[in-house]
Structure 1
Amino acid sequence: MSHTIADKEKLLVRVRKIKGQLGAIEKALEGEKECFKVLQQISATRGAMNALMNQVIEGHIKEHLGNHVSPAQRDEEIIKLITLLKTYVK
């Protein structure tokens, strides 16, 4: 079973919180809040996205790079993960 399926509820809770944070950013902009408040909301949302990414990456590493994976599969997964991380940290 995929780790995203096993952790589905925890991941969905994180996503719903992020949606709420994005809504708060939208509301702050619509309400013409001061830029510092908007920046705080953006920062909090970014932190939440990073936490979500970290949780999924951790599960991915455990599931796809563990000892139960063949060396060929591991090499393929490593290349895919490196490619993903390069786009993520841009």
Structure 2
Amino acid sequence: MSHTSRQKDKLISRVRRIKGQLEGIERALDSEAACAEVLRQIASVRGAVNGLTTEVMEDHLREHVLMAETDKERHQGGEEMIAVIRAYMK
């Protein structure tokens, strides 16, 4: 079982909050809210997504690198994390 499966409810809850924040940005834009308010809401979404990303990355490292049973599994988990970090940093 994957670590994301074990924490599914917690992660889905975070995603739903982010979805609500994005909908708030849409409403703010639709109602022509002040740009400072829209920017504040965008910053909040960015922080929430970064927090979610950090949590999943940390769990991946713990489960698939630090607790891997074989060197092959550890290497694969590390390579997966490198690919994710590269994509994240683009």
> Fold-level match, TM-score > 0.5?
yes
SS at match of 1:48: helix
TM-score with structure 1 setting the length: 0.93
Q: Which runs of 5+ in 2 are unaligned?
A: none
- Structure-2 residue corresponding to 1:37: 37
Query: Displacement, 1:66?
Result: 2.1
SS at match of 1:65: helix
- Structure-2 residue corresponding to 1:20: 20
Q: Which runs of 5+ in 1 are unaligned?
A: none
- Structure-2 residue corresponding to 1:49: 49
Q: 2: CA distance between counterparts of 1:55 and 1:27?
A: 28
Q: 2: CA distance between counterparts of 1:69 and 1:86?
A: 25
- Structure-1 residue corresponding to 2:78: 78
SS at match of 2:66: coil
Aligned length: 90
Query: Displacement, 1:68?
Result: 3.6
Alignment CA distance shift 1:54-1:73 (3 Å): same
TM-score with structure 2 setting the length: 0.93
Alignment identity in percent? 43
Q: 2: CA distance between counterparts of 1:82 and 1:68?
A: 16
